[in-house]
């Protein structure tokens, strides 16, 4: 089966019912998506599938043939430097323990793509599927707001 992962075409020979999260982490060794709960509650395993934020623990890999999958490893700029959003997360203290950070970044990235000038309330809605236990969200929200167009 083929799909695009962070811009490159990948082929995997796996049972289609396996979780996308496991195929990414164990077969492709792309470990940016984390397992926080395994039942779609925490968002630590968030990836983008054709631009939409999805919990990869709830997706069977057989469902994504031909799709474009983006993980946190695919967010950096072409020259490998952190994107403005990643940079804002570092500078504004939005990443503490960092385990929710990949999913949080992808949710924020998708939000800003869909709505380049979100209000604070819109940011809160956009991040509501991603749990963070370290920050109280204030600094994450500020980092996203700092990246408005």
Partner 1 sequence: MIETKAAVGRPVPRREGGDKVTGRARYTDDLVVPGAWYGKTIRSTIPRGSVRSITFDPAFDWPKVVVVTAQDIPGDNVVQLIRDDQPALSAGEIRHREEPILLIAAADRDTVAAAQRAIRIEYDALEPVFDIEQATETYSTIEISKGEVDEVFEGLEGVEVIERTFKVGLQEQLYIEPQGAIAIPEPGGGIKVIGSLQCPYYVHRALKRALALTDEQAVVIQAETGGGFGGKEEYPSIVAIHAALLARKAGRPVRLIYDRHEDLAATTKRHPGVIRHRTAVRRDGTLVAQDIEIVLDGGAYCTLTPVVLSRAAIHAAGPYACPNVRIRARAVATNTPPNGAFRGFGAPQSLFAAELMVEHVAERLGVPSLELRKKWMLRLGDTTATGQQLTESVSSDLVVAAALKAAPPIRPSAHPTVRRGRGLSLVYHGSGFTGSGEKKLGGKVAVEAAADGTFTILTASTEIGQGTKTIFTQIAADALGVPLDRVTVGPQDTSLVPDSGPTVASRTAMIVGGLIHEAAEELRDRLAKRRKPRLPLRVDKSYVQPDTIHWDDQTYQGDAYPVYAWACTIVDVEVDMLTGEVHVTDLVSAVDCGKAIHPVMAEGQIEGGMLQAVGWATIEEIKMKDGGYQNDRLATYLIPTALDAPRIKTILVENPYSGGPFGAKGIGELPMDGPAPAIIAAIHDATGVWLDEVPATPEKVLAACNSR
Q: Is 137 in the site for partner 1 (CB under 8 A)?
A: yes
Stretch that binds partner 1, among 48-56, 62-70, 72-80, 110-118 (CB under 8 A): 72-80
Report the residue from 23, 72, 110, 112 that binds partner 1 according to the rule CB under 8 A: 72
- Strand segments, DSSP code E, in 52-142 are 52-55, 68-70
**DSSP structure class, residue 16:** T
Among 54, 58, 61, CA closest to 24: 61
Among 74, 92, 82, 89, CA closest to 130: 89
Q: Is 138 in the site for partner 1 (CB under 8 A)?
A: yes
CA–CA dist 144, 92 (Å, integer) = 10
Q: Is 25 in the site for partner 1 (CB under 8 A)?
A: yes
Binding string, 32-61, against partner 1, x = CB under 8 A?
x-xxxxxx-xx-x-----------------
Q: Is 120 in the site for partner 1 (CB under 8 A)?
A: yes
For residues 108 and 94, the answer to whether their CB atoms sit within 8 Å is: no
- For residue 105, the minimal CB distance to partner 1 (Å) is 6
CA–CA dist 16, 4 (Å, integer) = 16
CA atoms within 13 A on the CB side of 17: 0
Place of tokens 């019912």: 17
- For residue 27, the minimal CB distance to partner 1 (Å) is 12
Q: Is 132 in the site for partner 1 (CB under 8 A)?
A: yes
Which residues contact partner 1 (rule: CB under 8 A)?
Answer: 25, 29-32, 34-39, 41-42, 44, 71-73, 75-76, 82, 86, 89-93, 95-102, 105, 120, 123-125, 127-141
């Amino acid at each position: 089966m083929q799909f695009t992962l962070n811009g490159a075409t990948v082929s995997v020979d796996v049972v289609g019912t396996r979780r996308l999260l496991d195929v990414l982490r164990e077969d492709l060794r792309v470990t940016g998506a984390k397992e926080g709960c395994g039942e779609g509650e925490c968002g630590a395993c968030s990836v983008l599938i054709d631009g939409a934020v999805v919990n990869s623990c709830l997706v069977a890999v057989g469902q994504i043939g031909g799709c474009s999958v983006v993980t946190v490893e695919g967010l950096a700029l072409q020259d490998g430097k952190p994107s403005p959003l990643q940079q804002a997360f570092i500078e504004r203290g939005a990443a503490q323990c960092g385990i929710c950070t990949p999913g949080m970044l992808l949710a924020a990235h998708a939000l800003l793509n869909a709505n380049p000038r979100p209000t604070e309330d819109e940011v809160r809605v956009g991040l509501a599927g991603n749990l963070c236990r370290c920050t109280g969200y204030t600094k994450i929200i500020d980092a996203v707001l700092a990246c408005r167009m």
